[in-house]
Structure 1
Amino acid sequence: MSAHDVVLGFVTSIRHPHNSTDYATVEAMLRESVTAWLGQTDPRFVIVVVSNRPVELPHDDRLHQVQVSFPPPSDTRSPRTGIAAVLRDKGTKNAVGLTRARELGAEYVMFVDADDFISRRLTAFVAAKGGAPGWTITDGWRVNVQRRAVRRHSDDFHLQCGSSHIVRADLLPPTTTGVTATQDELYDEQGELLERWLGSHMHLHDDLPLSYLPFPGALYRVGTSQSHSGNALGGAGRPITRAIAAEFGVSATGWTPWRLARAVLPSARAARERVRMLRPRDRD
């Protein structure tokens, strides 16, 4: 596939190994997600993964890894490093990934969190709508992979999940310093946009003339110990149907009473939290 054939570049970054309590799990989730991303119905895409060390991933010509030597953004030996550290590490790594995606000829770029899943229709949709500034995913799903449960998240999905914007590459900040740029060089080149657009997902829709994607575009993985947010399903789940499984490259819920109950009923953690909230508080 030549550079002129690349419609969409999926750019993702993986946290520094220092800021994890189980880096093998972080790599395994990335591997699971990337494998699903490769299932796009239109082959005119590339995937760029930026990390501090090589990750064992599927062998595919559309998959490109870039290693950086950036230091840990925080001394904390945990995924909960604080927002400043996340913006610096994710922002600079996404800047490197954006550079590589442009080198590969990507007309559009989507920054995808390393543990999320995306609709297999995205590349085909973008290819049919070429020239538009881009799209925001306001409607998606939360997914707990262990429970095989999903919950619809509408209207403000883009404010909760980092995998929520597709932007025409020429609208994003310049990346002339190349994939070997230092973090200081990237900040000098891109200024506040490095963190505002590449490190964060909170401002792109307000800052750029993006349209709403007309279908649920991503599955936001929750309920893992290695995520920065620590978010949960947020309510009652529902089984992962075969249609959802095929759309996003995840496993469907097994149709046994136990598996259905596990998908629909609150998790043990959620049940404990609800009991705690209902328990009368001691009065002075």
Structure 2
Amino acid sequence: MTPPVPLGADPDAPVALTFVIPVRHPDNASNWSALKANLGQTLASIAGQQHPSWRAVIAAQEGADLPPLPPGVHAVRVHFPPNRHYAPEGQSRADFHDAVRLDKGRRVLAALLAAGPTTHIMVTDDDDLVSNRLAATVTATPADHAIRFDEGHVWSPGSRILYTHPDFSSLCGTSSVVPLAALGLPPSQEAASTDYIKSMLGSHIAVKAALKDQGVTTTALPYPGAVYRVGHANAHSRSRNMLRTYLLNKGVLSNPPRALENLRRLRFYGDGERREFGLP
């Protein structure tokens, strides 16, 4: 592992890639100890980058208990209230998603405003894992280009099996690298509109559409870029166990071609994936 560029080492020299990790309010976590453990694995995964031109900034609630921060990772403390609409029950799907995007987007903005100069940013969910090749890839990418993760792995804790998803950027929020200049970052939280926060910073789907509208060149990452952790208590999407989602359910098993295709995308992981993504 190559040491990262420390925050503030040279304020005039941007790093290639800043990982931005928005951490929810403790009141919105069903099990903070588990969230903290998952976040620790996420940070270790980020810190395994093979190229030094990276930083990571966490936006976490003031007073929230965090795991030890590896070199190159910095925490920004925020004072946002808990998301009172975090649970989908009792509200429309649109209202639920709006509330989640606003809460996430505010935290992403807080991290970006404190991040220092960078050419690209990658919003990373607090329970996912990333490839250790990303900083090197971004360093070789033009500053005005975005990167899309066409493939990524889906994984459930306790399993040694990965499912390689063929449309990862539509599934998982940890799935794209964006040129900072394309975001039109405002100078403060107060200067940012609610619509901007929700669409450009709180939704990985909406920002893809915005980049396309701007004519930003987006290239596909030539390898699986991240691991989407599913089927655990704090999962953002309330996702199911990976095997139940992609194989062990009636809808898949009753469709033999689909079952065979999904089975083809399943494989055991080993030391190579442990080194690349920080899988346990």
TM-score range, shorter chain: 0.7 to 0.9
Q: What root-mean-square deviation, in Å, do the aligned CA atoms of Structure 1 and Structure 2 show?
A: 2.0
> How many residues align structurally?
239
1:160 aligns with 2:163: no
- Tell me what 1:278 maps to: none
In 1, are the aligned partners of 2:20 and 2:112 still within 8 Å (CA)? yes
C-alpha offsets along residues 169-191 of structure 1, whole Å, 9 cap, x if unaligned? 111132311xxx4xxx2xx5244
Q: What is the CA–CA distance in structure 2 between the aligned matches of 1:60 and 1:16, rounded to whole Å? A: 22
C-alpha change, 1:203 and 1:59, in structure 2 (3 Å) is closer
Pick one of 249, 271, 274 that aligns with 2:278: 249
1:198 aligns with 2:201: yes
1:91 aligns with 2:111: no
- Tell me what 1:100 maps to: 114
Q: CA deviation at 1:205?
A: 2.3
1:213 aligns with 2:224: no
Q: CA deviation at 1:107?
A: 1.2
1:141 aligns with 2:157: no
Q: CA deviation at 1:59?
A: 4.2
Residue 66 of structure 1 aligns with an amino acid whose one-letter code is V
In 2, are the aligned partners of 1:42 and 1:124 still within 8 Å (CA)? yes
In 2, are the aligned partners of 1:11 and 1:112 still within 8 Å (CA)? yes
1:35 aligns with 2:38: no
In 1, are the aligned partners of 2:44 and 2:70 still within 8 Å (CA)? no
Q: What is the CA–CA distance in structure 2 between the aligned matches of 1:46 and 1:123, rounded to whole Å? A: 9
**Stretches (4+) displaced over 6 A:** none
Pick one of 2, 7, 10 that aligns with 2:19: 10
- Tell me what 1:65 maps to: 75
1:128 aligns with 2:144: no
Unpaired segments of 5 or more residues in structure 1?
252-284
- Tell me what 2:180 maps to: 169
In 2, are the aligned partners of 1:116 and 1:221 still within 8 Å (CA)? yes
> Which is higher, the Rg of structure 1 or of structure 2?
1
Q: What is the CA–CA distance in structure 2 between the aligned matches of 1:129 and 1:174, rounded to whole Å? A: 21
Q: CA deviation at 1:55?
A: 3.7
Unpaired segments of 5 or more residues in structure 2?
248-265
Give the SS at the match of 1:37. helix
Q: CA deviation at 1:5?
A: 4.9
Q: CA deviation at 1:61?
A: 3.8
Residue 51 of structure 2 aligns with an amino acid whose one-letter code is D
